[in-house]
Amino acid sequence: MVSEEQMLFFGMLKQLVGGTAQSKASSCRKLVLPLQFLGTSQHRITAEANFHSASFSEAEPPRVLITAVSLGGLGQLGVGLANLLRKRFGKDNVILSDIRKPPAHVFHSGPFVYANILDYKNLREIVVNHRISWLFHYSALLSAVGEANVSLARDVNINGLHNVLDVAAEYNVRLFVPSTIGAFGPTSPRNPAPDLCIQRPRTIYGVSKVHTELMGEYYYYRYGLDFRCLRYPGIISADSQPGGGTTDYAVQIFHAAAKNGTFECNLEASTRLPMMYISDCLRATLEVMEAPEERLSMRTYNIGAMSFTPEELAQELRKHAPDFQITYCVDPLRQAIAESWPMILDDSNARKDWGWKHGFDLPELVATMLSFHGVSARVAQVN
């Protein structure tokens, strides 16, 4: 026997299908069902949620939360992003979070809260109590670390994402979640990889990022969630430690050059991968979040800057430190991962739609990294 609720549901579906058939233009519009029928996770989105009313006026800055689980907000990108956003929107409007106790310089630099993305209630309370209007979700286990602990990566990268999506949709929060070159696979075009192509990654990290891209787009069309995503290349930062990714050799090599002038690389000398200096990455993230929605032709964009091999990086490094030595001891797991990723990202849509333009090529990257670590100064003294 069909219930009254089911009859109402099928009646609305009939109206939607009928309306679509009558007008060609309606096929381009979002089909949004009444909210009592919505909800894709264990946390049902309530009928009282207001998805389309502004959560903050244009005159006031956004209230920002950067989420993390160990490798997120306190890792390579979260603190740098918080510093950039605090300069733009004010220190008290940007909140860092993690499940770890923050170091003193992070704690005293601006607001910090405990936030576990696997605790839906905790996450919801933070969004409500702090009137969050922008959310940057950086919590993820990276490629090599994820392969070493698949169940944890699945829990953090996928279940945590579901909590964030539901909270952001319920409270009309503009949501940014980074994706990665790891979202591509061995059957994807590699030189270059376009925004839209076959994606069949073979790591739990890559699978979770494809899931992120598709779920974000789904929530945009189904619920009206303002979801934005960039596929990051390998990110190189001077003032942070590597976080367990396959591209981390390009960070480790500078630490090694500063310490003893030698480096053992776990990828083959000719392995070409797309890379980006962290300041370009953070600027791109802010730019896509500030871009008017009407300028965005898609929800997930590639962004690129430079592409190089370990040997090309070592050659550029030797221009500053001629005695630097690199050897190779290839890690089969990391090498297989790298060979399934793009060599170059096609970011023409980002450049066309919202004006993306990188600032650092390989020579600028190497000079900046070595200067930070004091390698150039030491070589000058020796000479």
Of 31-40, 135-144, 166-175, 325-334, give the lowest mean pLDDT range. 31-40
How does strand 112-114 pair with strand 94-98? Answer: parallel
Greater confidence (28 vs 173) lies with 173
| 221 classed as catalytic | no
Report the pLDDT value the prediction gives residue 168, as an integer from 0 to 100: 98
Of 26-35, 70-79, 80-89, 291-300, give the lowest mean pLDDT range. 26-35
Is the separation of the CB atoms in 252 and 244 below 8 Å?
no
Report the pLDDT value the prediction gives residue 81, as an integer from 0 to 100: 93
Using DSSP's 3-state secondary structure scheme, residue 365 falls into: helix
CA–CA separation, 342 and 2 (whole Å): 51
Report the pLDDT value the prediction gives residue 144, as an integer from 0 to 100: 79
As to burial, measured by CB atoms within 10 angstroms (0-12 exposed, 13-18 middle, 19+ buried), residue 11 is exposed
State mean pLDDT over 291-308: 97
Report the pLDDT value the prediction gives residue 374, as an integer from 0 to 100: 77
User: Does residue 275 surpass a pLDDT of 70?
Assistant: yes
User: Does residue 93 surpass a pLDDT of 50?
Assistant: yes
Using DSSP's 3-state secondary structure scheme, residue 71 falls into: coil
Report the pLDDT value the prediction gives residue 174, as an integer from 0 to 100: 98
CA–CA separation, 365 and 371 (whole Å): 10
Report the pLDDT value the prediction gives residue 1, as an integer from 0 to 100: 52
Which residues face 252 on adjacent strands?
Answer: none
Which residue in the block uniquely carries the two structure tokens 């950086």? 138
User: Does residue 45 surpass a pLDDT of 50?
Assistant: yes
| Residue among 120, 138, 171, 205 flagged as catalytic | 205
Report the pLDDT value the prediction gives residue 244, as an integer from 0 to 100: 66
CA–CA separation, 346 and 97 (whole Å): 33
CA–CA separation, 231 and 274 (whole Å): 11
Is the separation of the CB atoms in 234 and 228 below 8 Å?
no
SS3 percent helix, strand, coil of the chain, rounded to 5, is: 45, 15, 40
The percentage of residues in the chain with a pLDDT greater than 90, rounded to a whole number, is 68
| Cα–chain center distance at 132 | 19
| 211-263 pLDDT, tens digit each | 999 999 999 999 999 999 999 999 998 876 666 678 889 999 999 998 999 99
Confidence of residue 17 (pLDDT cuts 50, 70, 90): very low
Confidence of residue 188 (pLDDT cuts 50, 70, 90): very high
User: Does residue 265 surpass a pLDDT of 70?
Assistant: yes
Using DSSP's 3-state secondary structure scheme, residue 308 falls into: strand
| 314-343 pLDDT, tens digit each | 999 999 999 999 999 999 999 999 999 999
Q: What is the pTM of this model?
A: 0.82
| 51-72 pLDDT, tens digit each | 433 444 457 899 999 998 444 4
Is the separation of the CB atoms in 79 and 73 below 8 Å?
yes
Average pLDDT in the chain = 84
Largest CA distance in the chain: 89
As to burial, measured by CB atoms within 10 angstroms (0-12 exposed, 13-18 middle, 19+ buried), residue 254 is buried
